[in-house]
């Protein structure tokens, strides 16, 4: 008869904290104050328990896991009564489960929400590891109990902890699970988080400057300014340099006046030129709404060559690439949508397949005119020209929608988002490269 495999040992942290710690001969040594895990940065790995913090005679001591002979919800036994009497000091990369997690907020990356860690489950898998978090909401009666009567474990890999320990957070940043989330989801988290939590979220994506800039573009103006006021001029310039020019120009005008010119002068020369041009227009007009980054090609370009240009135009926003603009000596002579370009014969020249005499607006056209024209002609992007019909920029439909949605609609969406969100399978969203 084949014997059944031994049951996996599991214990909830709340059951262990405060328990007496004994030597194998029964001598009482102290009580457990915390459990320590080291963050394993390999994908799919669970953080190993490296030791315990045990209070002995009023001192917090470090007990390595090798000295823990038995760990259950009822008792903790050490293999020796001789302990290192040096006071415990946290090392970089270590997480204190009670101090850093229990009762603190962390991010559920499957739902892009801030939740609160109610408990942590440790599992003995050839060595104790942090396996799961209970982040389920509790009613008033459950919160009064020291130890919950039931748990709802969710795998640790679904969470990103906000530890508040700079050195440890810095080590984890390149491997952060937050990279699974979209910029708009990260912006929502930043707006809901405390100041310290917001900084930790942004630090986790900060080495990806494009992603950080995308998050800033999604933030409400008040949150943008709050975060940028705490940064140096050079740090602000670094963020603006990676944003879309129209969004960067809008944000620059919101900064304190004495900071605008110094920050502008720290930007790359090409970015400075774009922003100076945009700042000369009223922000509520076509000139203020447009982006100067677009793909413009001569009419003799073939469809195949145009598609190659689209593929390599990494510095242009995706929305602006939905249409290719045809220019001849700087003047707008046609447009072609990306679907039309994909369906065209490879050797066809743009002059023969583009929409001639495209709908366009002048820089002083107001938002209403822009919105009506884009709606009337079913456009996703609108060229903006000067008095000589020279192409200056393009307005994309996402910017028009953002500018025209009434303020009270945003409040309505926030109310709707309070409802539970569907869980997203972790592998359904590809990480950013």
The predicted-structure confidence for 81-113, as pLDDT tens digits, reads as follows 888 878 888 888 788 999 988 888 889 988 899
Given a cut of 50, whether residue 122 has pLDDT beyond it is yes
- Average pLDDT of the segment spanning 128-148: 68
Q: Which residue has better confidence, 39 or 47?
A: 47
Give yes or no: residues 108 and 253 share one domain.
Answer: yes
Give yes or no: residues 189 and 291 share one domain.
Answer: no
Give yes or no: residues 14 and 47 share one domain.
Answer: yes
CATH number at 312 reads: 3.10.580.10
CATH number at 65 reads: 2.30.30.240
pLDDT of the residue at 40:
59
Q: Domain count of the chain? A: 3
417 inside domain? no
Domain region containing 234 = 104-119+136-141+148-281
Q: What pTM was computed for the model?
A: 0.74
Span of 4-8, 52-56, 100-104, 265-269 with lowest mean pLDDT: 4-8
Give yes or no: residues 292 and 390 share one domain.
Answer: yes
218 inside domain? yes
412 inside domain? no
Given a cut of 90, whether residue 307 has pLDDT beyond it is yes
Give yes or no: residues 302 and 263 share one domain.
Answer: no
Give yes or no: residues 27 and 92 share one domain.
Answer: yes
pLDDT digits (tens, 9 = 90+) for 45-81: 788 999 999 998 888 999 998 888 888 888 888 888 8
85 inside domain? yes
Q: Is 420 exposed, middle or buried (0-12, 13-18, 19+ CB in 10 A)?
A: exposed
Give yes or no: residues 89 and 20 share one domain.
Answer: yes
Give yes or no: residues 26 and 108 share one domain.
Answer: no
Q: Which of 281, 297, 330 is the last residue of a domain?
A: 281
């Amino acid at each position: 008869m084949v014997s059944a495999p031994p049951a996996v040992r599991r214990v909830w942290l709340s059951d262990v904290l405060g328990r007496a710690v004994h030597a194998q001969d029964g001598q009482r040594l102290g009580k457990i104050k915390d459990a320590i895990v080291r963050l394993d940065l390999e994908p799919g790995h669970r953080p190993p328990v490296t030791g315990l913090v045990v209070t002995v005679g009023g001192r917090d001591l470090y007990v390595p896991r090798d000295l823990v002979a038995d760990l259950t919800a009822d008792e903790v036994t050490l293999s020796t009564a001789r302990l290192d009497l040096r006071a415990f000091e946290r090392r970089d990369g270590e997480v204190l489960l009670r101090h850093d997690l229990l009762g603190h907020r962390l991010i559920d990356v499957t739902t892009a929400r801030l939740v609160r860690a109610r408990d942590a489950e440790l599992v003995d898998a050839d060595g104790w590891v942090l396996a799961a978090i209970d982040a389920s909401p509790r009613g008033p009666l459950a919160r009064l109990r020291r130890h919950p009567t039931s748990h709802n474990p969710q795998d640790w890999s679904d969470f990103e902890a906000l530890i508040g320990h700079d050195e440890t957070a810095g080590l984890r940043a390149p491997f952060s699970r937050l990279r699974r989330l979209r910029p708009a989801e990260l912006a929502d988290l930043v707006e809901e988080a405390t100041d310290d939590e917001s900084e930790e979220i942004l630090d986790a994506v900060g080495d990806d400057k494009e992603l950080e800039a995308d998050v800033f573009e999604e933030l409400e103006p008040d949150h943008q300014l709050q975060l940028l006021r705490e940064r140096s001029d050079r740090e602000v310039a670094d963020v603006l340099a990676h944003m879309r020019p129209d969004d960067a120009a809008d944000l620059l005008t919101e900064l304190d006046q004495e900071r605008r010119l110094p920050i502008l002068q720290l930007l790359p020369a090409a970015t400075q030129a774009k922003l100076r041009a945009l700042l000369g227009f009223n922000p509520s007009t076509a000139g203020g709404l447009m982006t100067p980054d677009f793909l413009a090609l001569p009419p003799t370009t073939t469809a195949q060559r145009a598609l190659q240009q689209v593929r390599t135009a990494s510095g242009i926003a995706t929305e602006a690439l939905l249409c290719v603009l045809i220019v001849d000596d700087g003047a707008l002579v046609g447009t072609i949508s990306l679907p039309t370009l994909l369906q065209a014969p490879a050797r066809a020249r743009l002059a023969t397949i583009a929409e001639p005499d495209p709908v366009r607006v002048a820089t002083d056209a107001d938002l209403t005119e822009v919105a009506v024209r884009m709606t009337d002609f079913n456009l996703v992007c609108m060229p903006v020209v000067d008095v000589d019909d020279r192409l200056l920029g393009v307005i994309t439909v996402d910017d028009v929608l953002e500018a025209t949605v009434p303020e009270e609609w945003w409040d309505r969406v926030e109310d709707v988002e309070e409802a539970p969100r569907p869980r997203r399978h972790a592998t359904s969203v590809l990480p950013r490269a």
